[in-house]
Amino acid sequence: MACTTLRITDPMPAPHWALLERHLLDAITDAYLEFYDRYFDPRGYLLCVPRWGALDGADDAAENVDGLTDLYALGAPQVLLDRYRTGMNGHIRQYTEARSPSTELARDGMYFREFPTSFDWLHNGEGFHPLFQEGLCDPGDPTWQARMRRFAGFYLGDDPLAPNYDPEHRVIRSLMNGSRGPVLRRAEPADWAGEPFEPGRFTPNRWHRTYDDYLTHFSTYRNVAGDNPCNLAATAMAFQTWLFTGEERYRAWILGYVDAWVERMAANDGIIPSNVGLDGAIGSAAGGRWYGGTYGWSHTLTGGPVVRHTPRHLGRSIHGFALAMLLTGDRGYLEPWRTMIERVNDRARTRDGQTVYPQMHGDDGWYAWTPDPFQRGAGELRYWSRPAGDLGNTPWLRYLAGEDPDYPVRRLHGELARVRRQRQEMDEDPTTPDTRLSENPNSLNPANAQALVELMAGGLGDGLASGMPLHACVRYFDRGARRAGLPPQAAALVAGMTDRSVDLTLVNLHPGRACSLVVQAGTYGEHRFVDAATSGGAAQPVGASAIDVHLGPGAGARISFGLERFVARPTLGFPW
């Protein structure tokens, strides 16, 4: 008979990491409430000068509530979800009202139908990441569901006000797209830089100091017509909508669009092209150059203090392939990316006795040679495929491989130091609402969930703040409070994972009160627990995507789960 409940009653002395984990959640909560009170008004409007643009625009404003939905889904208190909702709803109203009179794309409002009028998916995804993750917190919320349906509809090809998608050629028709449709003309630097501002008023977070610096930065951001791999991030909205509706058209659109990119890679020697024309032909909107287009393989910036190679089309697009994997359970969707890494590194050459590898491609061929192999997306591939003995070389992954047992404590101490530093910098912040850009508070936002996602959920923390769905080995639900996340007196640590197993330590820090939780296999229940064994005990069969765990007062244990991955239909539904 399958085990549906694990009852853990043996006492466990409170581990140092567990006390630090709960302390960090409390510290982030306290610091964020201070942050919110300083930088938002009671309506949820950010106290800044709202501007359109890629450097200090709407996405940066929304990033000041980033992390809150991720943290709540782990077990942070309700007050953070309340602040998120006030801040996100206020943000949408504020940027719907905000105008940029000399910028065509934002002349009648920066948002239309609660969404950017037309902008790129590096920025759309960053800004709306917390909104997309809201489904992890309250998937039945009618406002969130209505937004996801509307936003996904901008990309299915049937919205006359937003003709972003061409179903015949399977292209999103521009790098700049949104609720008012695609930009099909040549972009101007002002489309990216927004409204001019007087010298000395603002202190941008980067090297820029004047509006002319902004225009210089965007002087090469001209070629936006046609499809770009960045647009694969737009699949996140259809995925979220499919999760709560189950409607096949959302799934079919994602798979059809991802399949189009798989075919393009196969036709381009295994390398993802950074421009596809309106006719569906590789490179046809960039003079036949498969490597052309803004953010593409040849996107090197020479303005500013240093030359910067920025093939940013590679930063989010891999997640579109991962979504197709989630929808189908077919890990073959990862193979085109793995092949691309191999194809680029096959171009290695020897220079001055040293092997060097290309990172970029332009009119004169491959360039930007470095001693490090081309590795864009390699960490994500290792995370999803988990080949035996090759989880990767980050400190977290080395810990999971058993090489650094002190890593969790060290990492949590580092996060507490970060929160203290941000509070001090907040106290020293000289900006006022009329001299503040939307990006200025970003570095002070203490609601960074990356470390906790990795340690508590075995999740891909590097994917946060991208708009793409969370990939995690396990997820928790508080059965007593009937909400997402761990109970407030519980702590969790993923101590090891392979393709077929996960080792998880759970502990109840309350000495006098039991608690009950549900452990789910995968963020969306896409995995299945085969069996479960506590330390020293025999494995009990589970055969389900979730299992109840009852923790007695002060009790804890390390649990080893057998795992089957990507075998169940993903869902946002709570286990009850």
pLDDT tens figures, 333-354:
999 999 999 999 999 999 999 9
* Average pLDDT of the residues in 57-64: 97
* Average pLDDT of the residues in 163-191: 98
Residue 275 within a domain: yes
Per the structure, the count of domains in the chain is: 1
* pLDDT band of 515, cuts 50, 70, 90: very high
Residue 576 within a domain: no
Helix (H) or strand (E) holding 87: helix 78-97
CA distance linking residue 560 with residue 129, whole number of Å: 32
Q: 463 burial class (0-12, 13-18, 19+ CB within 10 angstroms)?
A: buried
Residue 263 within a domain: yes
Q: Are 120 and 176 in contact (CB under 8 A)?
A: yes
Residue 559 within a domain: no
pTM: 0.97
* pLDDT band of 463, cuts 50, 70, 90: low
pLDDT at 535 exceeding the cut of 80: yes
Residue 568 within a domain: no
Helices (H), 226-377: 235-245, 248-267, 313-328, 335-345
Chain length of the chain: 576
pLDDT at 391 exceeding the cut of 70: no
Tokens of 539: 């494995």
Q: Helix axis angle, 121-132 relative to 235-245, nearest 10°?
A: 30
pLDDT in the model for residue 388: 55
Residue 71 within a domain: yes
Residue 316 within a domain: yes
pLDDT tens figures, 28-38:
999 999 999 99
CA distance linking residue 297 with residue 315, whole number of Å: 12
Full 3-state SS string of 179-239: CCCCCCCCCCHHHHHCCCCCCCCCCCCCCCCCHHHHHHHCCCCCCCECECHHHHHHHHHHH
Residue 521 within a domain: no
CA distance linking residue 451 with residue 301, whole number of Å: 32
Percent of the chain at pLDDT > 90 equals 91
Query: In terms of residue numbers, what domain contains 26?
Result: 5-463
Q: Any bridge partners for residue 42, and if so which?
A: none
Q: What is the CATH number of the domain that holds 94?
A: 1.50.10
Tokens of 13: 């002395």
